[in-house]
Amino acid sequence: MKKFINAVGDVEKEMIQGILKVYPDKIKAIDCDGVLIRKEKNENKVAVISGGGSGHEPSFGGYVGKGMLDAVIAGAVYTSPSADHIYEAIKSVATPKGVLMIPMNYTGDIMNFEMAAEMAEMEGIKTEMVVTNDDVAVDNSLYTVGRRGVAGTVFVHKIAGAMAETGASLEEVKAVAEKANANVRTMGVAINPSTIPAAGKPGFELLDDEMEVGIGIHGEPGVRKEKLKSANEIVDMLLEKILSDLDFSGSDVAIMVNGSGGTPLMELYIINNHVHDVLLSKGITIYKTFVGNYMTSIEQEGFSLTLFKLDEQLKNLLDAPTDTPAMKV
Amino acid sequence: MNTKTILEILVKMHQKIEEEKDFLTELDNAIADGDHGINMAKGFAVVESKLSQLQEQSIGAVLKTVGMTLVSAVGGSAGPLYGTAFMKAGMVMADKSIMDMNDFLACMKAAVDGVMMRGRSVQGEKTMLDAMIPALNAMEKANSEDLPAKAVVEAGVKAARNGVEYTKTIPATKGRASYIGERSIGHQDPGATSFTYLLDVVAKAL
């Protein structure tokens, strides 16, 4: 394992300290490891929070600020934060309007967020939860835990944060977050794995001409292994799956070409180039394009493609002012 | 068993998890996110650091503290699941300072129910329940046959080990391993494995 780190056990803590030192005007820490909150508290809005394991930077610390998230809780790398840390975050940002929790659909995250909500309820804090599950690689059936939340989560956070900023009620913010989640689809691939610092070994192994298709964001293997293809062919494959999952025909969409952490921007632009061409040819209008590292898996070489179907309300909320370290509108 | 025995068992559980840390992580890496051994070791290290303050406490208080510590220190899935298991067991014991085999089985039953509730899971989904439920059934049976305590828990360990073997034959339908579906067949479940280690520690201590 080769990484720019100090002691393995200090990775998460030193990263949080480092983020704080870049944006002292926007975010602050509380007396609880892994929690970052907005510097200025607004009592007149619903607080929107999220969290998950570390290793997805800039998710989620990079999305704390005006127009997006009020608090995030980072666990150890790829590990859900614990319920008591989530509870501390809830307490520090809770307002009379309530708290909307938007974790991604992973067993550990859901259990810890639910336990934290139970603790908050005992303190009289009103919470609701919307769970993101945009990954079309995983079949959604009664016999699985359902689809994973992946990069499309960033759109859900953007929309919910913008809605909360208008002073909307908890029910209204929850409803629009659910609508955003229902209209967002993602699928990803990887050509090189990531290594959890504490594990010291990569999450999977691939030959030089192989790729993992239907990858998650935790360095776990994908749904299947395939021979590596050209960028255009991979884009075609991902789009086929995404477009067959939700009817995007004739609609306006925002797209996200998300890097997994180790993919050069050069390649993300090559991918984006073909995504635009294909969608145009299918009569789908691209309203806004996001290219970059929004939801990473440490140093994994891979990318995911997200399509977000927009109506007028979602367009307005997507365009609403946002001032966070990693998302500015 | 009294509080002192329970505290000694908890120290040995930490030792066992430390010894098997890399193996548990390897198992987890094969089908999910590769942090089970690391997280369990971290959690039990914090548990052990708290034991010296618990010597005068009831067994119920000790188990509840262990549960809350695991929830807090571990995170992930193992934190809330093992945390809930120990907390539920703690509620069964309440302020008792002596635990007999009937108490132990009542604790195990509460732990199984707690894990099923928290994880919204049942047997056959390639989780720790595939070791816990057969172990509980085997121990209840052995206890009804009036076997000595050590033999009762040993019967549980044997059933748990068979449960671990069984997890190799089925796909995961709960937890992160479910995302790779059929590809998880052939691999044993890390949670079922770590539970078996913990129960084995109890058997050896009796």
Answer for the pair A279, A253: CB distance below 8 angstroms, yes or no.
Answer: yes
Q: Which residues pair with A323 in a beta bridge?
A: A66, A328
Report d(CA B131, CA B189) in Å as an integer.
9
Does some domain include residue A45? yes
Q: A174 and A197 share a domain?
A: no
Does the distance separating the beta carbons of B35 and A77 come in below 8 Å? yes
Which residues on chain B are in Cβ contact (under 8 Å) with A203?
29, 33-34
- What span, in angstroms and rounded, lies between the C-alpha atoms of A129 and B115? 21
Cα–Cα distance list, A290 to A92, A253, B165 (Å): 31, 11, 46
The encoded tokens of residue B27 equal 């198992």
Residue range A292-313: average pLDDT?
A: 98
Structure-token pair, residue A252: 């306006």
SS3 content of chain B, % helix, strand, coil (to 5): 75, 0, 20
Residues A291 and A237 in one domain: yes
Averaged pLDDT for residues A273-287: 97
Do A120 and A225 belong together in one domain?
A: no
Domain check: are A165 and A19 in the same one?
yes
B17/B45 Cα distance (integer angstroms): 10
Report yes or no on A3 lying in a domain.
no
**What's the pLDDT band for A317 if we cut at 50, 70, 90?**
very high
User: Residue A141: is its pLDDT beyond 70?
Assistant: no
Which token pair is A55?
């290793």
State how far the Cα of A100 lies from the Cα of A145, in Å rounded to an integer: 22
Give dist(CA A222, CA B43) in Å, integer: 29
* Among candidates A108, A216, A218 on the partner chain, residue whose Cβ is nearest the Cβ of B77: A108
Model's pTM, two decimal places? Answer: 0.85
Tell me, yes or no, whether A91 lies in a domain.
Answer: yes
- Structural domain that includes position A61: 15-182
Cβ contact B34–A196 (<8 Å)? yes
Q: Alpha-carbon distance A54 to A80, whole Å?
A: 8
Residue A2 lies in a domain: no
**B24–chain A Cβ distance below 8 A for any pair:** no
Instruction: Answer yes or no: is A328 within a domain.
Output: no
For residues A229, A245, A262, A71, the Cα torsion angle rounded to the nearest 10 degrees is: 180
Are A144 and A281 in a shared domain?
Answer: no
Please tell me the predicted confidence (pLDDT) of residue B86: 96
**Interacting residues of B99 by C-beta distance below 8 A, sequence separation 6+:** B1, B2, B6, B59, B93, B107
In a domain, A172, yes or no: yes
Among candidate residues A182, A208, A236, the one where a domain is terminated: A182
Distance from CA of B71 to the nearest CA of A (A): 6
Partner A contacted by B190 (CB < 8 A) = no
Give the pLDDT of residue A8: 94
Give me the pLDDT at residue A6, please: 97
| Co-location of A60 and A190 in the same domain | no
Rounded CA separation A80/A324 (Å): 23
Q: Which of A124, A149, A182 is the last residue of a domain?
A: A182
**Rounded-to-integer distance, Cα B81 and Cα B87, Å:** 10
Of A135-149, A286-300, B170-184, B186-200, the poorest mean pLDDT is in: A135-149
Contacts of A112 in chain B (CB under 8 A): 71, 75, 79-80
Q: Identify the sign of the CA torsion A43, A46, A52, A55.
A: negative
In this prediction, residue A210 carries a pLDDT of: 95
Asked if B203 contacts B160 with a C-beta cutoff of 8 angstroms, the reply is no
Cβ–Cβ under 8 Å, residues A100 and A127: yes
- Among all residues of chain B, which has the CA nearest to that of A140? B179
**What local confidence, expressed as pLDDT, does residue A144 receive?**
65
- Please report, for the domain that includes residue A240, its CATH number: 3.30.1180.20
Instruction: Give A220's pLDDT tier (boundaries 50, 70, 90).
Output: confident
| A154 shares its domain with A214 | no
Domains of chain B with CATH codes: 3-205 (1.25.40.340)
Give the residue from chain A lying closest to B115, CA to CA.
A111
Would you say the C-alpha torsion A112, A76, B196, B181 has a positive or negative sign? positive
Lowest mean pLDDT among A139-143, A196-200, A297-301, B145-149: A139-143
Picking from B29, B174, B175, the nearest residue to A199 by CB comes out as B29
Task: Say yes or no for a CB contact (<8 Å) between A77 and B76.
Answer: no
- B contacts of A11 (beta carbons < 8 Å): none
Q: Do A117 and A173 fall into the same domain?
A: yes
Residue A158 to residue A179: CA distance in whole angstroms: 13
The helix (H) or strand (E) run that includes residue B162 is helix B149-167
The verdict on B173 touching A (C-beta cutoff 8 Å) is yes
Q: Which of A212, A223, A221 is closest to A189 using CA atoms?
A: A212
| 3-state SS class at A291 | strand
Distance between CA A4 and CA B90 in Å, rounded?
Answer: 43
A115 and A88 fall within a common domain: yes
Q: Is A276 a catalytic residue?
A: no
Is A56 a known active-site residue?
yes
Q: Return the half-sphere exposure (C-beta side, CA atoms, 13 A cut-off) of residue B178.
A: 22
Task: Write out pLDDT tens, residues A49-68.
Answer: 999 999 999 999 999 999 99
> Are B115 and B131 within 8 A, CB to CB?
no
Dihedrals φ, ψ of A5, to 5°?
-135, 170
The count of structural domains within chain A is 2
The chain-wide mean pLDDT, for chain B, equals 93
Mean per-residue pLDDT for A268-273? 98
Query: Rounded CA gap, A290 and A276, in Å?
Result: 12
* Gap from A138 CA to chain B (nearest CA, Å): 6
For residues A130 and A246, what is the distance between their CA atoms, to the nearest angstrom?
20
Q: What are phi and psi of A133, to 5 degrees?
A: -155, 65
Amino acid A140: pLDDT = 61
CB contacts under 8 A, B 51-110 vs A, are 68, 71-81
On whether both A108 and A142 belong to a single domain, the answer is yes
Q: State pLDDT tens for residues A226-256.
A: 999 999 999 999 999 999 999 999 999 999 9
* Among A276, A278, A281, A284, residue whose Cα is nearest residue A309: A284
Residue of A nearest to B173 (CA): A144
pLDDT, tens digit (0-9, with 9 covering 90-100), for A102-132: 999 988 899 999 999 988 988 899 999 999 9
Task: Tell me the nearest-neighbour CA distance from A220 into chain B, angstroms.
Answer: 5
Pick left, alpha or beta for residue A67 (phi over 0 → left; psi -120 to 50 → alpha; otherwise beta).
left
Sequence-separated (6 or more) residues with CB below 8 Å from residue A311: none
d(CA A48, CA A67): 10
pLDDT at A145: 75
Residue A310 lies in a domain: yes
> How many other CB atoms are found less than 10 A from the CB of residue A182?
13
Asked whether residue A171 falls in the same domain as residue A25, the answer is yes
A81-97 confidence digits (pLDDT tens) = 999 999 999 999 999 99
Q: Is the previous residue joined to A204 through a cis bond, with omega within 30 degrees of 0?
A: no
Q: Which segments of chain B have a pLDDT < 50?
A: none
- Cβ contacts of A213 on chain B, cutoff 8 Å: none
Closest A-chain CA to B179: A138
Residue in B37, B136, B115 with CA at minimum distance from that of residue A107: B115
**Any domain includes A329:** no
Q: What tokens appear for B15 in the block?
A: 């030792």
Q: Based on the fold, state whether residues A148 and A293 are members of the same structural domain.
A: no
Say if CB A117 and CB A73 are below 8 A apart: no
Domain endpoint, select from A159, A182, A205:
A182
Kindly report the CATH number assigned to the domain that includes residue A41. 3.40.50.10440
> What is the ipTM, given to two decimal places?
0.71
